[in-house]
Structure 1
Amino acid sequence: MHPLPDHALPPVVPPEDWRAAYEAMLVEEKEFTRARDALAARRRRMPVTRVDTEYRFVGPDREVGLLDLFEGRRQLLVYRFFHQPDVDGWPDQGCTGCSYLADHVPHLAHLNAWDTTFAMVSPAGREQIAALRARMGWEHIPWYSLPDDTFSRDFDVADYFGVNVFLRDDHDHVYRSYFVDARGVEPLLPTLSMLDLTPLGRQETWEDTPAGRPQLPPYRARRHHEYGGDSR
């Protein structure tokens, strides 16, 4: 537990004052929800671009194309996971940030029920992917090997992680509909959303935080077995 001096505590008020402050903030929260819904509606109205290149991926049993990654569903999200020789800890570890995201991938039956598939791709070989997948508890995530850097280069994930979203039509034509990287992937990370609900927040130096509250350097995410006592 991190020290929290008395002067760093939030103001302590009677219940009726807390209720008034909460209801005032709730007005802004509802405005934010409506703005988020409006952005999602705009995203649904984005144009798409057709994907005609025959990209290849190596699955557990065979080499497949982009259409195969859909697993017969209508929509596909592909996350480029950095598991490759220039990553610290190779081949026993994957990128720290990518590992953090993979830990947040939910039971995919829920996503699949909405006719949507999630998959990860990496330039590592099948043996390295299978070993890391099993060791980290990610067996529920479809994860393919990239035989070259064509896909990563064409879809803006050669140098940085990101999520590409694809749609297929009734004629099995594939379209790129959306792309997000950097902090744009935060909706996939519920730990951050949970921390945003707390008075201490993410405890990172970039946050607008009252004086005296704990603040540490950003990007504290670790592989889940590396936190030590902090993860109990």
Structure 2
Amino acid sequence: MSSSAENGRKGGQPAMATPPVVSSQAWEAARQQLLVKEKALTRARDALAAERRRMPWMAVEKAYAFEGPAGKLSLLDLFDGRRQLIVYRAFFEPGVFGWPEHACRGCSMVADQVAHVAHLNARDTTLVFVSRAPQADIARLKAHMGWQMPWFTITDSFDADFGVDEWHGTNVFYRDGERVFRTYFINNRGDEQMGGTWNYLDMTPLGRQELWEDSPEGYPQTPTYKWWNWHDSYTADAPPDKKWVEVSDAGEAAFRKEHKE
């Protein structure tokens, strides 16, 4: 019997049917066997993201209005000058369990996982949360929970029109000048993966914008790793740091080798 099973019984819990304990050689062999499937999953995820970048777009013809810390904004304003916009509908409003001290537990879990938005901004992408709560309540909640993402108030039928009036969900939009297009939507268990920079970028029409990606002709792409920076050090149109380029060259070579296997 494994020690974990013994401890489970001593603690008054049912014994767990834990895996066998093996030698380091056998453990490494098992890891390598599983790694084959993990690599296949990674390739499949990359291929799915490439297909997502080729999804048809839907023109957004209706004007939508939101409230922000500085007043009224349009959907176009939420882009904050960038080409891509990711909008997560969080349930924080009267009638939601936890109001007014807290937002929905599930939506709060998503908010807790959101990475620093500077990395998305560096890829011409804006992430925002939207709810029906007034701005004063949103500001209080963000301060209490330590959340930093932009968060706006829905004032019209945006939530109903984009499938997030009765359940959470993430919509993706693209801006071409003054025109706005809906490019993707994900909800239910799909939202479990949201929060990380890569998962957000993978659902956008432009993707991660790195050279290795299978993207339509003419899409923006830069060398792998080179655009990465500390979240407080991104500057508009600045070339990659020379020292970081040197360090990342080795990583990029390993990346290319990995993708050939």
Normalising by the smaller structure, the TM-score range is 0.7 to 0.9
Q: CA deviation at 1:4?
A: 4.0
CA offsets 1:126-146 (integer angstroms, 9 cap, x no match):
1111111111111x2100011
Taking structure 2 as the reference length, the TM-score comes to: 0.69
Q: Can you give the 5+ residue segments of structure 2 that lack an aligned partner in the other structure?
A: 7-15, 200-261
1:70 and 2:42 aligned: no
Distance in 1 between residues matched to 2:39 and 2:98, nearest whole Å:
44
Distance in 2 between residues matched to 1:147 and 1:45, nearest whole Å:
32
What residue is the counterpart of 2:178 in the other structure? 172
What residue is the counterpart of 2:12 in the other structure? none
1:183 and 2:189 aligned: yes
Q: CA deviation at 1:5?
A: 1.6
What residue is the counterpart of 1:201 in the other structure? none
Over the aligned positions, Cα root-mean-square deviation in angstroms equals 1.6
Q: CA deviation at 1:21?
A: 0.9
CA offsets 1:159-206 (integer angstroms, 9 cap, x no match):
00000000011x22000000000111122156xx9xxxxxxxxxxxxx
CA offsets 1:19-69 (integer angstroms, 9 cap, x no match):
111111111111111111110000000000110111000010110100000
SS of residue paired to 1:67: helix
What residue is the counterpart of 1:144 in the other structure? 152
Max Rg structure: 2
Letter in 2 for 1:44: R
SS of residue paired to 1:92: coil
Distance in 2 between residues matched to 1:189 and 1:113, nearest whole Å:
16
**Paired residue total:** 186
Distance in 2 between residues matched to 1:186 and 1:34, nearest whole Å:
20
Q: 1:1-232, aligned counterparts within 5 Å?
A: 4-6=4-6, 8-138=17-147, 140-148=148-156, 150-169=157-176, 171-189=177-195
Distance in 1 between residues matched to 2:23 and 2:29, nearest whole Å:
10
Distance in 1 between residues matched to 2:180 and 2:195, nearest whole Å:
27
CA offsets 1:82-129 (integer angstroms, 9 cap, x no match):
001111121111100000100111111111000000000000111111
User: Which is bigger in relative contact order (C-alpha 8 A, separation at least 6)?
Assistant: 1
Q: Can you give the 5+ residue segments of structure 1 that lack an aligned partner in the other structure?
A: 194-232
Distance in 2 between residues matched to 1:84 and 1:91, nearest whole Å:
7
Distance in 2 between residues matched to 1:80 and 1:90, nearest whole Å:
16
Distance in 1 between residues matched to 2:66 and 2:82, nearest whole Å:
18
